[in-house]
Amino acid sequence: MIRLSCPTARTGAFQPLLAKYSKSFSLVDAISLGVDRMQRNFEPMRRQVETWQAQQLSSAIYRAFIEDELDAPKHLARRVHEMYFAPQHEDFQPRTMWSLSNAFTSAFKELDPIPQFKATAMLGAYLERMLGS
């Protein structure tokens, strides 16, 4: 008997999938389909990273925290500043939108899970606004 889990339509909770419901189920096909779906999202993400790598934008740190344009804890301003101007990884040495995004997300890792999720969720839209400024 094959025991797999799948979400139920009504609750979204995972329930065991018994062999009688999975006779035509192919794990290889399911994984292949999942990987194909993920790879479709790589190209837009790659283009966004390349755009961010070409942008220089250091004032965004100050606009985020001093001018309250990003709903994030103010005590992280110094940490974002440090990670942007003195990054730990060579790839983030150029002062670009990509390294700025990394500085923010690295600093957000110091937050508890819920504030971290909220700050990270708002960061993308904030950085996009910065590109348009």
> Which pTM was predicted?
0.56
d(CA 58, CA 111): 22
Query: What backbone torsions phi and psi does residue 112 show, to the nearest 5 degrees?
Result: -65, 160
Instruction: Give the CA count within 13 Å in the CB-facing half-sphere of 76.
Output: 24
Amino acid code (one letter) for 115? P
> In the structure, what pLDDT confidence band is assigned to residue 3 with cuts at 50, 70 and 90?
very low
A 10 A CB-CB count for 54 gives 11
The answer to whether 91 and 122 have CB atoms below 8 angstroms apart is no
Q: 66: which residues sit within 8 A by CB, 6+ positions away?
A: 77
Q: What is the pLDDT of residues 20-53, one digit of tens each?
A: 656 677 778 888 888 888 777 778 777 877 776 6
Weakest mean pLDDT among 53-67, 88-102, 103-117: 53-67
Share of the chain above pLDDT 70, in %: 77
